[in-house]
Amino acid sequence: MKPEARSEQLQIRVTPAEKSAIARAARRAGLGMSAYVLSRVLPEQPEQWRERLRELEASGGARTALAGLSAWLAGLAASELPGAIAEPPPAGLSDFHANYVAAMVEQACAARGVDAPQWTRGVAPLARPAFASDLASLRLHLLAHSPPPFRRRNLFVDSSVGAQV
């Protein structure tokens, strides 16, 4: 997606000390002052979240899209997570994928000590259990070792956010 050309200007009043502090922070981040301030005020994560969800929906729920979403969630800091995932997934996701996304979000939030967004509570758990493997011999392992957010949603998996199997 091509970024929109900037045609407007915004001016804020700061003290000389505040301006120096912003300039130092921008240098540490490797950005100009305008880019640094914009990155703090308008973070990119919400758009990245929407893009990941669009990819998941367009792929029909491909495992690669879920793995990409998992890796992206794992890379977010506790301070970034709430703002990044505030918007609910699109209504077009299957019940399975809506629950999987909600479980990944709940797991990421629990790992960082932040509250899960309200929309996760509106995703009803699956009526029937879904297992990550069709092998009957693995079901007991999956039942015992699935992370709690997944178990609560009747999803039984071997790994969670950020893990690669």
Collapsed DSSP state (helix, strand, coil) of residue 155: strand
Q: Is residue 53 part of a domain?
A: yes
Residue among 115, 40, 122, 111 at smallest CA distance from 70: 111
Taking residues 6-22, report their average pLDDT. 89
Q: Are 157 and 150 in contact (CB under 8 A)?
A: yes
Identify the pLDDT of residue 62. Answer: 82
Taking residues 99-107, report their average pLDDT. 97
Using CA atoms, how far apart are residues 139 and 134, in angstroms rounded to an integer? 8
| Cα Rg, the chain, nearest whole Å | 20
Name the token pair of 124.
Answer: 């009803």
Identify the pLDDT of residue 165. Answer: 43
Q: How do residues 88-102 score in pLDDT, each as one tens digit?
A: 999 989 999 999 999
Using CA atoms, how far apart are residues 147 and 157, in angstroms rounded to an integer? 8
Taking residues 138-153, report their average pLDDT. 93
**Domains in the chain, number:** 2
Taking residues 98-111, report their average pLDDT. 96
Tell me, yes or no, whether 111 and 148 share the same domain.
yes
The CA-to-CA distance between both ends of the chain, in Å, stands at 31
Using CA atoms, how far apart are residues 143 and 99, in angstroms rounded to an integer? 17
Tell me, yes or no, whether 77 and 18 share the same domain.
no
Percent of the chain scoring above 70 in pLDDT: 92
Using CA atoms, how far apart are residues 12 and 26, in angstroms rounded to an integer? 16
Of residues 5 and 115, more confidently modeled: 115
Q: Is residue 31 part of a domain?
A: yes
Q: Is residue 22 part of a domain?
A: yes
Tell me, yes or no, whether 108 and 145 share the same domain.
yes
Q: Which range marks the domain in which residue 20 is found?
A: 13-42
State the average pLDDT for the chain: 88
Q: How do residues 27-53 score in pLDDT, each as one tens digit?
A: 987 878 887 787 677 668 888 999 999
Within 10 Å of residue 77's Cβ, how many Cβ atoms?
Answer: 9
